[in-house]
Each structure stands twice: as C-alpha cells, then as structure tokens.
Amino acid sequence: MYPTPRSHRPLIMGRNGAVGANHPLATQAGLDTLRAGGNAVDAAVAISLTLGVVEPMMSGLGGDGFYQVHIAGQPKGLVYNGTGPAPIAATPEAFPQGMSVHGPRSVSVPGSLAGIAAMHAAHGRLPWAKLAEPAIEHARYGFAATHAYRMFSTDNRPQLAADPRSRMVFLAEAETRPLAGLVVQPDLANTLEAIAADGAETFYRGRLAQRLAAGLAEAGSLVAEADLAACEAEVQAPIAIQYRGYEVRQTPPNSTGFVMLEMLRIVEQFDLAGMDPAQRVHVLVEAKKRAFLDRERYGADPRFETVPIEHLLSDAVAHAHAAAISMDHAADLPLKIPEKAEGDTTYFCVIDAEGNAVSGIQSINSSFGSGVTAGDTGVLMNNRMAYWHLDPAHPNRLQPGKRVRHTMNAPMVFQDGKLWGVLGTPGADNQVQVNLQVLTAMLDLGADPQTAIERPRWTSSQPGQGANWPHAGDGVLTIENDIGDEVLAGLEARGHVLNRVAHMGGPCSMQAIRLMPNGVRMAASDTRRDGWAGAY
C-alpha cells in the first residue's frame, strides 16, 4: 500500500474540470476551453490540435489517433477511431527490400483529424473554428523549444535534414535549437486556418486535400488524393473487462488495447497487494510476456482479420496464462514471427464539470514521423507504414486499404457504473505495460494518481516484439534504477536480464485524472517529459 505520498509534483485538484496533456500549452488550451463553456469533447479538440503544433515530434495533422468518449448519464461509451489505412498503391510487392521506416514511402494515410472532427460533430458544443484558435496562434507566432524538443530534434536531425521544408522549420542552423528559441510554422498556421474555416472535409476531400496530395506526390509518397478522399473515421464500441470490482474500458482493434485488458485478467489471479515489490514486478512482467504472444497471433484490423476478443479476455485464457507463470523463474517467450520501436506518441485526458470525459491518444509514430513535410501545407507526415509486416501468414500483413495494428490505446475506468478515472501514456509497445503498472498501483495498492505515475518503471522486450520494421526485440527487462537494489536483485535472481537505466522518456509521459466520489478531480502528470496537469 501507499500510505504516504511519494511524488515530486503536487497532486492537482479541482471541482469543475481537469486536463492532463503532454505539453503545458495544450493543457492551457484545454482548460481555457472548459472555462469558456466547452465540454470535454471541445477541450479534447483544442488539445489535440494544439499538441500537433507544440509537440510536432509526437503527433499532428499528419498522424493518427484514438479517442474514447464518455458522456455523463450514458452507460455506453464510444471510441472514435481516427487511424488511416495503407494507401491503394501500398502492396507488398512495392517493398521488395522491406518496409520503409523513414522518408516518403513510410507515409500512411493520416486519420487523426477525421477522428476528432467526427467526435466534435457528435458531441461538441463550441464552434469548431474557436477550438482551432490556440493551435493557429502557436503555429503563427511560435512556441518555445523545451529541453525535450531540443533532445528529440537533435536525435532525429538526419531525417529532418533530408527534407528541405522540415529542415527549415524544425532545425536550427546551429547543431541544436537554443532553449526557448521559437519554432514558427507559418505554413501550418495557414493550413489550420483553412481547417478552421472549412472543417476537416477540406483536408480529405477539398482544396487542401489537393495541395496535400500534390506535396506528397512531389516527395515520392504512395499516398494519393484518392486515399485521402476515402479516409473516414470509424465509430466503435469500447471493449471492457471487470477487474477487482472495476470496469476497465479500452479501445478495440485495430488498437491493441485488448492486450492491457488481457494482462489485467491474468494478474487478477494473484494477490498483488500481498506481494513484495520484486514478486509484484515479476508477475506483471510475466503476464505481459504471455499477453504479447496473443497480440502477435491476433492483433490486426478486424475488418480484414478475425480478432477473438471474447476468447482472449475469457476466464479460461486468464487462468491458463496465470497457471503457467512460475514465481521463481522468468520465462523466455520469444514471439514466433520476428517483429524495436521507440514509438513517439502523445496522450491527453479531460473530465469536465458535467462528468463527460475523453481519453485521447495520437501519434505520427516515430519522433517527427517520416521527416517529410507535405508541400506548402506545413503538415509533417507520419511513418506509420513501418508498422506493417510482409509475411503473408501474419495477421498484420500489409494490404491496401487495411489499417495497421496500432500500439495506441486510451483506457477509462468505471466503478458501480460511474466514471472513476482516465489515464494513458505514449510509448509504442511500452504503452500497455506502463498503463498496467499505473493502474495496478492505483487499483490494487491505493496510490493516488501522481504517486502512481512517479513510481519507478519497467518495460519488457521479447525477441520479435518491436512495432517498427524489422520488428526486433532483445529479451531484456529495462528498469529504472530508483526502484531499489533489493528489487533489482530479486528480479535478477529469478532470471530476468536487466537493463538498468535512469528515468525513461519515451514510454513515460503518463497523464491521469481520478474522479473522486465528492466530485473532486485529481489530475496528475509525468515528471519525465513536458507533460502538465491542470484543474479548476
């Protein structure tokens, strides 16, 4: 249990609304929207568009997203799936040397804008144009480069430098843009103004779509005007399980949110609260390994492949996996079809005064995505094609029009039919693992959100696990040193191969909001990156 808080940041609390996002300017946009009379969906749109400007290495108009929505008083939630498919020209034969990881041929059809537009059309309250204002302002006049921005732009300089427009906007003449140096995106500001005036339709089937397609063709991308025109968001029902009296909802396939639910079902068979820390980490890691075997067997676009969700989340599967876990030895469970990705994504969450909520996650895949800016639109494009497999027997094999398997997932938690909390993190294959750790810290051990978020983290990598081509994995348990020598020794004694690190940045940018019975919203944000929580 956690009788004493252990956090570097205060727990943010308010009675009327709360926001957690991976950049303070996006959090401010969400709070301002709520204060202006907007609901959680309006705030989510403002946050989403703003993040695409001020955190360009993580998400944007050129990427994808999942947005889970809870409307107060309605028992069933909705998921707005804003993930685009592979372009029509993207056949396996088009990649004889394997999938492109960066550059124009790594670009897939972007679906994020379609997702937030559909969500806003169904539930929004404020005008669409109003919600785009913060993003337009930050694009037009610039945002200040943070430590995280400087690190990511330096690390990804080669792919940005390969594209003249990306190089001009995102890189400084010197080796690293100075701290607080302004990143100004005038072309993106013009594009956002067009979207504010004409809606998302212009991005997919209007004049902006024509310019976007022309820019992509000039760069050598496979995404054509017809691919944009065919892109539509899908409205889905969330999938859910019961865990120790709580209902945990997740984004359905082509999201791999089911993997987090499967891990919870497995670890529910163990008394996590009664274990010492090394035992607890061991059980969580072993559950992860087994659930990832099922991810590899079944994770895919359900419009093309059968994904047996009821079976994967059944008692029989949970009990069988739990029974196979040895408390004394770490299992070696490589994935059979080879698949390492440092996926870069951004997560945000909102709960408004009425109890409406959005759990949102969006990404351009790797840091700065493909590195390609689409012509004069200022839109930095994703490199989501890198997620495909080419093995014809793999459920996530490349097919034109098919949506790739996504690591993105956006959970929500309910108790007795009422919203209990929302949380999530970026981090590619590590997302569901970090969500598992924070959720069990809160649900099993009674930690408040900020304490749970700041606890030391681990991420497990199995051979053949990684999301990006060529889908590698090293069989190592990467773990933060401040978990303590006793825990580290206990894990090594069980056979875990450890990679001891300082704080992890990529898979550790968690945001969480807990809704208390008295109406207080507890908002928490990770200290490991640029995230910030706010409430009022």
Active site residues: 345
Cα–Cα distance measured from residue 54 to residue 26, given in angstroms and rounded to the nearest whole number: 8
User: Tokens representing 316?
Assistant: 């029989």
Nearest-CA neighbor of 363 among 468, 262, 438? 468
Residue type, 56: P
Give the integer Cα–Cα distance in Å for 88 and 101. 19
Radius of gyration of the chain (CA): 21
* Two tokens, residue 435: 């969500």
* Alpha-carbon 432 to chain mean position: 10
Q: SS3 for 177-215, per residue? A: CCCCCEECCHHHHHHHHHHHHHCCHHHHHCHHHHHHHHH
Cα separation, 107 vs 212, whole angstroms: 12
Handedness of CA 435, 45, 346, 527 (dihedral sign): negative
Contact between 335 and 296 (Cβ < 8 Å):
yes
Strand pairing class (345-351; 18-21): antiparallel
Question: Helices then strands (H, E): number in the chain?
Answer: 19, 19
Contacts of 360 by beta carbon, 8 Å cutoff, 6+ apart: 44, 47, 48, 65, 66, 67, 68, 347, 348, 349, 350, 410, 424
| Position 462, amino acid | Q
Query: Across-strand partners of 437?
Result: none
Determine the 3-state secondary structure of 430 from DSSP.
helix
Q: What are the φ and ψ backbone dihedral angles of 525, each rounded to 5 degrees?
A: -145, 150
Helix (H) or strand (E) segment spanning residue 68: strand 64-70
CA atoms within 13 A on the CB side of 395: 22
Q: Are 51 and 23 in contact (CB under 8 A)?
A: yes
Cα–Cα distance between 449 and 140 in angstroms, integer? 35
- Contact (CB, 8 A) for 261 and 250: yes
Q: Is the dihedral of CA 130, 136, 138, 140 positive or negative?
A: negative
Structure tokens at 106: 């790594």
Contact 523, 448 (CB under 8 A): no
Give the length of the chain. 536
- Which tokens in the block code for residue 121? 């059309």
- Ramachandran region, residue 338 (left: φ > 0; alpha: ψ -120 to 50; beta: rest): beta
